[in-house]
Structure 1
Amino acid sequence: MSPRAKDEPTPGLVLVDKPPGWTSHDVVGRMRRLCATRKVGHAGTLDPMATGLLVIGVGKATRLLTYVVGHDKVYTATIRLGQSTITDDAEGDITATVDASGVTDAQIADALAGLVGDIQQVPSAVSAIKVDGQRAYKRVRDGEQVDLPARPVTVHEFTLLETRREGEVVDLDVRVHVSSGTYVRALARDLGSALGVGGHLTALRRTRVGDFRIEDAFTLDDLSTLVDAGEQVPRVPLGAAASDILPVRTLTAREAATLGFGQSVETGDAQGDGPFAGIDQTGELVAVLSPARGALKPDIVFRSANG
C-alpha cells in the first residue's frame, strides 16, 4: 500500500441540523474533522441565515449527493411585508419601505394562492447562479446590474401558519413545499410585489429533503459530543440511503457480480426512466443503474468485482 493511502471512511449520509450563521461549506469543514476524512460533501446549499436539514455525504456516499439535490424541499419561513432588500432576505440592505398595515388577510391568502403550482420564477440576483462563468452574487457585490432569466419551478404548498402585525410591517409565518431549484426568498419578494408593498425573508428553516426529515438530524454539538466520547458519527448506510433517494432494482447474487465487472443486467422489475438503486439481497448498494438499450447499465459502481 502506498504510504499516502488511507483507509476508506465508512460511507453513508449524515443528516445535520445546520445552525444559523454557518455556511454549508463551514459544516462540511467541521464534518471532515469529525469523520477524520476529506471525503465529505453536501447536497443543496443553505444560506448562512438559514437553519435546518443539510444532507452530508461521507466517503463513497458523496457520489449519491447529486441524486439528493433533485428532490423536493420543505421549509418553514417568515416573510416580512412592507420592506424590500437587495438580497430578498434579512442579510441585505433595505432598498424600499412601504406601509403594509392596510394589507388584508384576504389579500394575503389570494397572493399566496397565486404563487402555488407551476410558475416561472426569477431567481434572486444575489444567488449562486453563474453568469458568464461568475457567480451572480459576486457580480452584484461588484456593483453590476444582474438580470437573471425566469425558470420553471413548482410550488406544491405555500401555507400561511400565522400572521403578526406590528406598525407598518406584517410578518407571515409560512410552510413551503417546493421543487428543487426554487428560491424561497424569491417567493418572499414576489409575494410582497403581488401585494404592492414589497417583501423579504427574515427566517428560513429546511425541514425535509425528499424522504429525509429534520427530526432525524443531529446538531453539530451532538456529533462533537459523540466523537469526543469515542463513538463514530452516525450515518445512514449506503443501501438505506440509496433506497430513500432512488427507486430500487433488487439484484440476485449473479447480477450483483455482473455489475461489479461494469456490465449491464436485465431491466427486470424496474419501471420508469431511472436512475435506479441496484440493491443486493443483503440490502447493500451495488450500483446506480440507468436504462440503456433495453437493459440497465451501471452509472456508478459502489462494489466492484475486485472488492
Structure 2
Amino acid sequence: MLASAPDGILLVDKPQGISSHRVVSIARRRLGLKKIGHAGTLDPMATGLLILGAGPSTRLLTHLVGLGKTYTATIRLGVSTDSDDADGTPTAAVGVRDADVSADAVERAVAAQRGTIDQVPSTVSAIKVDGRRAYDLARKGEEVVLRARTVTVSRFEVTGREEHTVTVDGTDVTVVDLDVVVDCSSGTYVRALARDVGAALGTGAHLTALRRTAVGPFAVTDAVDIEDDSVDVTAALARPADVARRLFPVVTLDAAEAKDLTDGKRVAAEHPDSEAPVAAVAREDDRLVGLVSVHRGRLRVITNFPAPTPASAARGTEARP
C-alpha cells in the first residue's frame, strides 16, 4: 500500500527572531511538501501559535483565519518607536516622570481600547496600500496613511507592572512596563493598542514582547517546536476530521452516502445544529469528506476534501529553510 502524503493541521510555537515564512519553509522541508498554507503570520519579534495546513487540510485554513486571538504582551510606557514594537527605531523617549501613570490612569487608557473600536493599524504593517505593503513604503521613507478598521477587543487586562530605567540613545529614561493579556478579533494590532494607550497617557509606548497563546479553540500549549529535530512533525499533524469537529457541528455518513455527496448528488441528512451555517461531513471511518450547508434536510457542498494522495505525488524538491 502506498503511503499517503501528509495531511492535517500543524500547530507551531514560533520562536522569537525568525519570520513566519521561515517557519513555513522549515515545515515544508520536514514534511517533504512543495506547498504548505498558513492561517496568518506573526512578526519576527513575536512568539507563539502559528497554524499551518498540509495537503487537503489547507482548505480548512479559510475558516481558521478569522477566529479570535489571545495574546500576552508587555507594553513599555515612556518610549515610542516607528514600528510600535521593539524591532523599530525609537522616535521619542519622554519617560514617565512627568505623566500620570497611576493604576487608575492606566486603567482608564486601557479601558478606552476595550469593546468594538476603530483602530488605525501600525504604519509598519503588512497591510497593502495601492498594492504595496505598508512596511515597504514606510522603510523607504514614503508617507503611509492607513484607514481605521473596526475591531473588537473583548479583553484587555493589565496583569503586572514594573518601573525601571532604560538607556535610549545614550540617555537614561524612566519607563513603566505593563504586562497585559488581550482577547481580540482577527485583524487587531496589539502594537496599535500599545501605541494608543501611550498616546492617551502622554508618554508614548511600544511593545517589548508579544506572544500569541490561542487562536479560537487552538492553544499554543498543544504546539510543537518546529526547529526541534526530535519532534515527529508528521505525527503532530492534527487529523482533518478532528480539527473540523472543533469548528463545526458534524454529520456522519456511510460510505455510499459520502460517495454520493462527493459526486455532486444531494444527500438527505438531519441538521446537527440549526444555528450553525456550516457543518462538517465525516464518513463512518472518520475521514473528513467536506463542509456543507444544510437546506431543507439536504446537504449542499461548500468544500470537498479529497481522499489522501500518495506521498510521491505531493513531494517535490525539498525546500531549504
Q: 1:68 aligns with which of 64, 68, 76?
A: 64
Where do 5+ consecutive residues of structure 1 fail to align?
1-5
Aligned to 2:30: 34
Shift of residue 294, structure 1, vs aligned partner: 7.7
Q: 1:299 aligns with which of 298, 302, 311?
A: 302
Cα 1:289–1:93 shift into 2, 3 Å: same
Tell me the amino acid that sits aligned with residue 230 of structure 2.
Answer: T
Runs of 4+ off more than 3 Å: 249-255, 263-267, 290-296
Q: Distance in 2 between matches of 1:255 and 1:194?
A: 59
Shift of residue 292, structure 1, vs aligned partner: 6.5
Where do 5+ consecutive residues of structure 2 fail to align?
166-173, 311-321
Shift of residue 257, structure 1, vs aligned partner: 2.1
Q: 2:200 aligns with which of 178, 187, 194?
A: 194
Q: Distance in 2 between matches of 1:99 and 1:258?
A: 67
Q: Distance in 2 between matches of 1:136 and 1:121?
A: 16
Aligned to 1:183: 189
Aligned to 2:127: 129
Shift of residue 232, structure 1, vs aligned partner: 3.7
Contact in 1 for aligned 2:289/2:305 (Cα 8 Å): yes
Aligned to 1:261: 263
Shift of residue 177, structure 1, vs aligned partner: 0.5
What does residue range 227-246 of structure 1 map to in structure 2 within 5 Å? Answer: 227=232, 232-246=234-248
Q: 1:206 aligns with which of 197, 201, 212?
A: 212
Q: Distance in 2 between matches of 1:44 and 1:88?
A: 20
Q: Distance in 1 between matches of 2:296 and 2:41?
A: 36
Contact in 1 for aligned 2:31/2:234 (Cα 8 Å): yes
Shift of residue 250, structure 1, vs aligned partner: 3.6
Contact in 2 for aligned 1:39/1:62 (Cα 8 Å): no
Cα 1:296–1:134 shift into 2, 3 Å: farther
More moved, 286-295 vs 78-87: 286-295
Contact in 2 for aligned 1:24/1:42 (Cα 8 Å): no
Contact in 2 for aligned 1:84/1:97 (Cα 8 Å): yes
1:84 aligns with 2:80: yes
Cα 1:127–1:209 shift into 2, 3 Å: same
Aligned to 1:283: 286
Cα 1:171–1:39 shift into 2, 3 Å: same
Aligned to 2:149: 151
Cα 1:260–1:171 shift into 2, 3 Å: same
Tell me the amino acid that sits aligned with residue 288 of structure 1.
Answer: L
Q: Distance in 1 between matches of 2:22 and 2:284?
A: 38
Q: Distance in 1 between matches of 2:35 and 2:56?
A: 8
Tell me the amino acid that sits aligned with residue 74 of structure 1.
Answer: T
Cα 1:123–1:260 shift into 2, 3 Å: same
Shift of residue 153, structure 1, vs aligned partner: 0.6
Contact in 2 for aligned 1:75/1:208 (Cα 8 Å): yes
Tell me the amino acid that sits aligned with residue 255 of structure 1.
Answer: E
Shift of residue 291, structure 1, vs aligned partner: 5.4
1:247 aligns with 2:257: no
Tell me the amino acid that sits aligned with residue 223 of structure 2.
Answer: A
- TM-score, length-scaled by structure 2: 0.86
Give the match's secondary structure for 1:277: strand
Q: 1:115 aligns with which of 113, 119, 122?
A: 113
Give the match's secondary structure for 1:13: strand
Q: Distance in 2 between matches of 1:215 and 1:253?
A: 35
Identity of aligned residues (%): 48
- Aligned CA RMSD, in angstroms, stands at 2.3
Count residues in correspondence: 297
Give the match's secondary structure for 2:231: helix
